[in-house]
Structure 1
Amino acid sequence: MNKWVTIKKFAEASGYSEDAIRAKTKNGTWAYRLHFTKGPDGRIMINVEEVNKWLENTEA
């Protein structure tokens, strides 16, 4: 998988819904320019590597 992927691709691979991913980008759960960014065309792109690190560091 690429380092940066669309919300749709990340949803397909991760099991998170597209709405859940958008919520994490809007409510501050994921940091702008670390976990996600906006491309020059305004499209939100997810950094797979950094989100995986976030997942691994989340306490259950």
Structure 2
Amino acid sequence: MTTQRTMPASAAGGGTASASPNEGDYRWVLLAEHCRRTGETSQMVHTRRKRGIWLDGKHTKLASKKRLYVNVEEYNRWVENQKH
């Protein structure tokens, strides 16, 4: 079973780290970081949430102070399963 640990925002850029110490990537990233990495807009993410395409707790997570995180692993699965 994999658990997650939270790193201080100053050390992690505001995300939750994967439990594996060898992994350099994060499972959850702030919406702004997701947008920077993928080129998507925040509006695209919010629209998927509103339409029920992305589920809170699976694809996204709303944390304290209403900060929205995106699950990188679930985003990648979602992209891979899109029909071309």
Same fold per superposition (TM over 0.5): yes
Bigger proportion of residues as helix: 1
**Which stretches of structure 1, 4 residues or longer, exceed 4 Å deviation after superposition?**
none
Letter in 1 for 2:57: R
Equivalent position to 1:42, from 61, 66, 70 = 66
1:16-45 per-position Cα deviation (integer Å, ceiling 9, x unaligned):
111111211222111111101111332111
Which of the pair has more CA radius of gyration?
2
- RMSD of aligned alpha carbons: 1.2
User: Structure 2: which 5+ runs fail to align?
Assistant: 1-24
User: Structure 1: which 5+ runs fail to align?
Assistant: none
Looking at both structures, which has the greater relative contact order when contacts are Cα pairs under 8 Å and sequence separation is at least 6? 1
Aligned residues: 60
Bigger proportion of residues as strand: 2
Q: Give the TM-score normalised by the residue count of structure 1.
A: 0.87
Q: Give the TM-score normalised by the residue count of structure 2.
A: 0.65
